[in-house]
Structure 1
Amino acid sequence: MNFKNKSNFTTRLNSRLAIGAVALASAVMFSCSKVNEQQPYAKLDPKDAFSNPERIGKAAVGMYDALQNPEFLGGRVLLYADQRGLDANIAGYFTNIGTFDMQSINNFAFNCWSGGYRTINETNFFSINLKENEAVVGPTVAAGYYAEAKFIRALSYFYLVNTFAQTYADQPTAAESGVPLILTAPRDGAEATDPKNKVKRNTVQEIYDQMIKDLTEAAAVLPVKTGDAFADHARATKGAAHALLSRIYLYQGNWAKARDFADSVLLSSNKYELDATPAAAFSAGNYQTSKERIFSVAMNSGDNPNTNNALGQHYGSNGRADVSISKLYRTLPNFDYQTDLRGKPLFSYNINKDNGDTIAFYTKKFFGTSTFDAWVPVIRLAEVMLIKAEALARLNTGAPDAAAVKLLNDIRARAKASVLAPATQAELITNILTERRIELAFEGHGVTDFQRTKRDIPAHGNVVLQKWNGNYTIFPLPFAEVERNPNMKQNEGY
């Protein structure tokens, strides 16, 4: 597979030339208009879009363009998880998300759902049309494109199932407990509105099984590195697939597999390593050179210019400044934010002009070169190291696992934090879970780390305690989708 340079990739990413009927395909999931009366996107027939290698290449980039959806992996889906955690203060703009009292008519839920399934349908539509035109690029190049489609689909399902369904640790095999598993796409508006597309929800187990299948097949084909710095960080690679597999197995509680796939990343010939400082991994100048950032959703100021969507706008003190850092985060055990490099160097402040007091703290993880163009950090090496540490800690039921303690302290050493010496397995696991909060704050792990470990979300501020598998720790399915589809079961309590 021949990945082009950054400028060509970005041009393609913004062109949205690629997949003609994606707007129609998305109607499988929701209906806002008479889709059977619409023309294909950009009026480009799929036969033309897949007629030569260059156009197929542009169509492949279109899948990453879909991944940039500002309501989903353009960043919002990460923010939603953090709003229901403890480390970010509740933002008034995101009404009812952080207070666990959403309704099924909530626009954020609708837009997140539709954004995720638009991305999935784009991967499905691409794969179907590539299959019919495989001879245009040949089987080897096609295999690489299929692998990218599978990676993007699995990534999208990870966030959908963990936003709209209870965690795997709850009842993964319960009927209709997950989200709909869609592996194909309609050809046109008429097919999109066919009653056969009014599908039921699959089980959580079925979604996880498909993610693992997609990523395993993708990893067997994807390159370790492409030779292009932009593509190595913003397109699917073997390391990205293995890293996501390690996270998925962690969520399943399959500690051995989580450890093994973390090792696949740590021992990769790509030679991933921590950046010199925590802040370096989030510097816009390092997005394409960082050895720590395994996969990110690339953005520029033209991709997400709306002040209501960009992560830098919501999290940045010089943007909308909706989401500030909570006192609960600043006072975490083993975290001295005055000296820890994940503290002050990664904080910005709003100051009271009258007395000079700090009135709010904000993260600088999403500054980019402006408040609009920060790349979305999907998975970093620091997370993979902590996944392996947790897996080892849980597998070794005796004394604290020495390798796990070393990984924990390697993360802390980079941040100039004190060395920890847990005395028991339970203390080590607690230390690792706390370290995940310190290290991975504001990167979309807020509520899901509580849910997957069966820990209730403590009462905080005006929020009452939420059971880890309570009705309102997850989003409702959009009312419009349930109303349209009599086979779609709403989440309990909504």
Structure 2
Amino acid sequence: MKIVNTIKTILLLSVVVTLPSCLDLDPQDQMSDANLWQTPNDYKLYANQFYEWTRDFSSAVYDGPHSDTRSDLMTSSSYNEYSKGINNIPVSDGNYTGAYTKIRYANILLQKAESYPNPTDIARYVAEAKFFRAYEYFDLLQLFGDVIVVTEPIDITDPKMNAPRDDRSKVVDLIIEDLKQAIPDLPKENVIATADKGRVSQGAAQAFLSRVALYEGTWQKFRTGDVTRINDLLDIAAEAAWEVIDSKQYEIFKPAELGTDAYKYLFILEDVQSNPANIKKDKNKEYIFSRRHDEVIAPIGKNITKNCFANVQWVTRKLAEMYLGADGLPIDNAQSTAGVDYSTPDNEYAKRDNRMTNTLMAPGRKYWNNNASHTTWTDADKAAFDNKDFYPTSGSGYNNQKWATERNVKDEYEGYDFPIIRYAEVLLNYAEAVFERNADAEGNIMDASKVDAALVYLNQVRQRVNPNMPGLTTSFATTHNLKMREEIRRERTVELFNEGFRIDDLKRWKTAETEMPENMLGVKWNTSGDWATWAGKWSPSYSLEDGCLLIETNRVWSNKNYLYPLPSDQRQLNPNIGQNPGW
């Protein structure tokens, strides 16, 4: 039996060794051999391939369609053409063809399942196939809008592949239907066997449903879509997020031992000591669905610490200024008691949301990485090696440390997980969905009690490392002349920074046309007083704008940039496919 199962595994996986750059719908990969689909384990083995399709560090932190490298929050020594708004129509696009190849593989399992004699035995793997089909269609929706919907494995000669694209509403309806059908047949997190940890849970499907419905509900709301449709989508988003909250399966990661550094250490958690409290991955109940890594079995395989530790990610002043003061107010608010003191490089980080120092690196302080790593995990480490005060000599002056380990580990062998979906996002989804459901297009609130009830969950995210920060409420916003929509979006932006959300958020809010063309700025530069130490190490060659380093200019954004262009090879294959507006 072991030999038979091994042969089955080889045959099942042989169809997914490569994902071709062009749409490969050769009928030979339909796996017609009925002997391969005899047991639930056959379906499980086939479904294993789906887990390689999700976002990971390579696509979400490094450059990719959803990466913050394509947003207004970071740049680098060379501009990103998508961020700058000057990308062109490509000859081919693996984002398009790759998604359809994956959808085909999901459809194969679903087709084979139709003739399985005991559907209950394979219900979980059918649900996984529907989840991942929804996942791939959502990616297509975000990038291209209208796309062709196919729900069966078809070959290249099928006339369906020469059809016009389906309206985005049909795509969204399929995604929602797939997820709703999958949810009942997926296990709750707390009953998943140890050997199966990392597989899709009921909570993951519910959380993803909240993401999809919120995305499309707000996309339509800010483009004068049908009101009934908008409200239905926002209701789905809120209800799906609430199901995750009410399940009590997940929680915000905030061990008391890590105090106000819990946010920082969440993202570099491993099963060896990776934080001062020696807390391991099993204490992380925040990651709902993740790409799982391990130094020995499955290292990240990218030079993640070197990439993220004060290196190629040049953070913009826009992000730095988004962090609230410790009083819960924007730093430019007339009633702010924190404000910003630029008299020293370090003072900009004082009396601020602690996520600022959990994410960015204040000049003049000491930091650890995998070259200058912890040994005792106490301040005594600072004397154990030449851990110098940090003063960057390139970039914007704002430097990232999120995703950078502090332990001694070889480059590319870090073993922390990438959160595809985490509980903090669900709480933010819930707050935003309830607010948008109870506010008009201008942000005027119609039912403050419902909004306040939802903001309780947003404040769990805010107060993880800011226990003394006032919570956001409708009365707090009114008292301090705050715009609630702006504050909800601020919270989302700083919490989910560098996880692959910002550019998609700007697109669905339809604010990219305002935010993306703005010049990218760095720190407000000075050379006197306490700035002299830093100025002695670095003489930036940038021009200044309002005293700030002017990092990138000549950025553009037009309506066509809200969607990617369809690649020219696909338009040649299917003349009926059309092209997105403006391209």
Measured against the shorter chain, the TM-score band is 0.7 to 0.9
Matching residue of 1:357:
391
**Aligned to 1:397, what secondary structure does the other structure show?**
coil
Match of 2:70 among 84, 99, 107: 84
**Aligned to 1:120, what secondary structure does the other structure show?**
helix
Q: CA deviation at 1:242?
A: 1.1
Matching residue of 1:423:
478
Matching residue of 1:153:
133
Within 2, Cα distance between the matches of 1:194 and 1:23?
Answer: 24
**How many positions carry a matched residue from both structures?**
443
Q: CA deviation at 1:294?
A: 1.0
- Indicate if the aligned counterparts of 1:78 and 1:442 stay in contact, CA closer than 8 A: no
Within 1, Cα distance between the matches of 2:389 and 2:294?
Answer: 37
**Aligned to 1:119, what secondary structure does the other structure show?**
helix
Match of 1:444 among 500, 521, 540: 500
Q: CA deviation at 1:131?
A: 3.0
- Indicate if the aligned counterparts of 1:82 and 1:447 stay in contact, CA closer than 8 A: yes
Within 2, Cα distance between the matches of 1:81 and 1:379?
Answer: 15
Matched AA of 1:283: I
1:385 and 2:427 aligned:
yes
- Indicate if the aligned counterparts of 2:85 and 2:555 stay in contact, CA closer than 8 A: no
1:330-382 deviation line (CA, Å, top 9, x unaligned): 2215167555342223346999x999522451242375975465533222111
Matching residue of 2:192:
227
Structure (1 or 2) with the larger CA radius of gyration: 2
1:49 and 2:36 aligned:
yes
Matched AA of 1:82: D
Matching residue of 1:60:
47
Match of 1:97 among 75, 82, 88: 82
Within 2, Cα distance between the matches of 1:141 and 1:203?
Answer: 35
Matching residue of 1:402:
452
**Aligned to 1:206, what secondary structure does the other structure show?**
helix
CA distance 1:378–1:357, shift in 2 (3 Å): same
Matching residue of 1:207:
171
Matched AA of 2:319: Y
Matching residue of 1:7:
none
Within 1, Cα distance between the matches of 2:240 and 2:29?
Answer: 41
Matching residue of 1:454:
510
Bigger drift between 374-383 and 60-69 goes to 60-69
Matching residue of 1:261:
240
Within 2, Cα distance between the matches of 1:112 and 1:350?
Answer: 39
Q: CA deviation at 1:219?
A: 0.7
Matching residue of 1:477:
566
CA distance 1:58–1:354, shift in 2 (3 Å): closer
Matching residue of 2:557:
466
Q: CA deviation at 1:204?
A: 1.0
CA distance 1:305–1:296, shift in 2 (3 Å): closer
- Indicate if the aligned counterparts of 2:61 and 2:67 stay in contact, CA closer than 8 A: no
Name the % identity. Answer: 23
1:115 and 2:98 aligned:
yes
1:165-199 deviation line (CA, Å, top 9, x unaligned): 2xxxxxxxxxxxx122221113xxxx334454333
- Indicate if the aligned counterparts of 1:18 and 1:62 stay in contact, CA closer than 8 A: no
Matching residue of 2:357:
344
- Indicate if the aligned counterparts of 2:253 and 2:286 stay in contact, CA closer than 8 A: yes
**Aligned to 2:133, what secondary structure does the other structure show?**
helix
1:74-120 deviation line (CA, Å, top 9, x unaligned): 7668663423322222573x85121111112266xx12223322322
Match of 2:576 among 484, 487, 491: 487
**Aligned to 1:117, what secondary structure does the other structure show?**
helix
- Indicate if the aligned counterparts of 2:428 and 2:457 stay in contact, CA closer than 8 A: yes
1:259-312 deviation line (CA, Å, top 9, x unaligned): 2221111110424344432234323425555211111233567878765xx7x3
CA distance 1:150–1:451, shift in 2 (3 Å): same
Within 1, Cα distance between the matches of 2:139 and 2:362?
Answer: 30
Within 2, Cα distance between the matches of 1:366 and 1:214?
Answer: 37
CA distance 1:266–1:183, shift in 2 (3 Å): same
Within 2, Cα distance between the matches of 1:444 and 1:45?
Answer: 38
Matches within 5 A, 1:255-404: 255-276=234-255, 277-285=262-270, 286-287=280-281, 289-299=283-293, 312=304, 315-317=307-309, 321-334=311-324, 340-347=353-360, 357-358=391-392, 359-360=394-395, 361-365=399-403, 371=412, 374-394=416-436, 395=438, 396-399=445-448, 401-404=451-454
**Aligned to 1:432, what secondary structure does the other structure show?**
helix
Matches within 5 A, 1:135-174: 135=117, 138-165=118-145
Within 1, Cα distance between the matches of 2:151 and 2:306?
Answer: 34
**Aligned to 1:209, what secondary structure does the other structure show?**
helix
Within 1, Cα distance between the matches of 2:76 and 2:139?
Answer: 21
**Aligned to 1:266, what secondary structure does the other structure show?**
helix
TM-score normalised per structure 1: 0.77
**Aligned to 2:463, what secondary structure does the other structure show?**
helix
Within 1, Cα distance between the matches of 2:97 and 2:509?
Answer: 28
TM-score normalised per structure 2: 0.66
1:138-186 deviation line (CA, Å, top 9, x unaligned): 3222111111111111122222211222xxxxxxxxxxxx122221113
- Indicate if the aligned counterparts of 2:286 and 2:422 stay in contact, CA closer than 8 A: yes
Matched AA of 2:119: P
Root mean square deviation of aligned Cα = 3.8
- Indicate if the aligned counterparts of 1:147 and 1:219 stay in contact, CA closer than 8 A: yes
- Indicate if the aligned counterparts of 2:324 and 2:353 stay in contact, CA closer than 8 A: no
Matched AA of 2:519: H
Within 1, Cα distance between the matches of 2:426 and 2:187?
Answer: 19
CA distance 1:266–1:196, shift in 2 (3 Å): closer
- Indicate if the aligned counterparts of 2:63 and 2:69 stay in contact, CA closer than 8 A: no
CA distance 1:16–1:443, shift in 2 (3 Å): farther
CA distance 1:90–1:114, shift in 2 (3 Å): farther
Matched AA of 2:127: A
Question: 5+ residue gaps in structure 2?
Answer: 1-5, 219-232, 256-261, 271-279, 327-348, 365-386, 439-444, 521-552
